[in-house]
């Protein structure tokens, strides 16, 4: 299959599909962190090529429910473009939802797309795929089955460990660490969606 991994700089999902023998390419504005087929640029420049499957990871900054706090009137001076930023993020998400690619999976945290588009087809957790962590991830699917858990593991009793990504200290690269796909989830996608 010819597979596009949209908005991925890490190469994790791309490489899981390549390991299964597929022709996969990641695309992001950032360079790839792993050597491999990667288009650095605007996804719109490659979206209309003949892809069989696309897995899209649109930026979630303005789509998550945790960002709703910054939409309140008291933050308008601090974030004057927040409403416009959210509208642009919704349009970008819908670019993937409305694509003509036959099979599509769009991944994002719990957010506004449940009401602005439709409810996700499923919500998965890293602990269902071998990672002892909690991070609810929504999947909107087109012509793909729900992703089946592959290795359900017990969560640590310590909340800070179970939700490690939520408790990362502020840093320049915090957002990058939080946006990466877990390897177990990437492997499940490559195993089950081809």
pLDDT digits (tens, 9 = 90+) for 14-71: 999 999 999 999 999 999 999 999 999 999 999 999 999 999 999 988 898 777 777 7
CB atoms within 10 A of CB 89: 23
* Structure tokens given for 102: 């036959």
Domains parsed from the chain with CATH numbers: 2-192 (3.40.50)
pLDDT tens-digit series, residues 127-176? 999 999 888 999 999 999 999 999 999 987 877 676 766 656 677 776 66
Q: What is the pTM of this model?
A: 0.89
């Amino acid at each position: 299959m010819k597979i596009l991994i949209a908005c991925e700089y890490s190469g994790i999902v791309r490489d899981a599909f390549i390991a299964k023998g597929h022709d996969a390419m990641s695309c992001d504005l950032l360079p790839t962190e792993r050597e491999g087929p990667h288009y650095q640029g605007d996804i719109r420049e490659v979206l209309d090529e003949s892809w069989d499957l696309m897995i899209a990871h649109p930026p979630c900054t303005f789509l998550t429910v945790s960002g709703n706090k910054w939409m309140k009137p008291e933050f308008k001076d601090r974030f004057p473009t927040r409403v416009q930023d959210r509208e642009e993020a919704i349009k970008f998400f819908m670019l993937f939802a409305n694509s003509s690619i036959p099979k599509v999976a769009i991944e994002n945290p719990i957010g506004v797309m449940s009401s602005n588009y439709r409810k996700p087809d499923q919500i998965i957790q890293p602990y269902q795929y071998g990672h002892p962590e909690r991070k609810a991830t929504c999947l909107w699917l087109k012509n793909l089955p729900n992703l089946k858990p592959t290795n359900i593991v017990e969560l640590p009793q310590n909340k800070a460990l179970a939700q490690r990504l939520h408790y990362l200290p502020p840093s320049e690269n915090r957002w990058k660490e939080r946006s990466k796909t877990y390897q177990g989830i990437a492997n499940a996608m490559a195993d089950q969606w081809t």
